[in-house]
Structure 1
């Protein structure tokens, strides 16, 4: 299987490719925009990972103090939110996506440091997810995150977000592109076919 990569503004053009059946998206919470997220035409698998580089980027994006204490606090909040997302995702990918959209809406005007159990419970209530199911699935979230991290590193990736779009015989790796641009690309590919 060949991998094609683009990480600039060029789009890969290959008229022989067939529309996608699977998309693997590696990202870090608070570092990707899910407002354009739609899953009607494409089958997305969301794989959150936490890396030191993305924690620094998140800290800098939110203009937080550049010290070890703040870095550790951001790491703690991102890690907790990631585990919470993975826990909810055990109920299904669509439920996980609803969690991400609700999280994004809830965190407008806030920083990752504002994420806590109160925010979590508010989101769970909004998406109608029971606390007992959350408690039941939470122990498995760490193993899921470890698997995502292992897969991320086994692909020798270092940039987030990174998306793999799998075609019949080929795949495309897209780095550092928000989901809105990936959807634009997929829409363009659909028109070409």
Structure 2
């Protein structure tokens, strides 16, 4: 099976693996990966005031892969996308991933989207919007965003990825689709 798509969205819960898979999809298709969090966030965890305009410019491009998670640009991206990949691991897998990532980033003082760093680990207990708590609280929200995307673009193809095996099959199908379009 081959899948040919040049404008691809990757949806899923926070910590599901959207950005990792989006980067792998970009490599398989030859399309640029634009990490939407990097477009959205500025220093001090403030929102980019030109976010919607910046995403509009991105979405107008001929080929791209980006994550699908911000309501402000949902319709704009959905209307222009050809493929929507829904990363759907089990909740326990997402919790494990988001915990590992958060702890790693915090302990290594990794910069996130410019000059931002993860909040202190103790704030998992006190901050309702700590990324770990946010991920679990909003775990099912991608489902509604996907329904909205399909209403905005009835021709949008949907592929669900529940496991590493599913991801490998998708990447092979996208690579095969790319190879066919190169030969044509």
The TM-score with structure 1 as length reference comes to: 0.36
Which of the pair is proportionally richer in helix?
Answer: 2
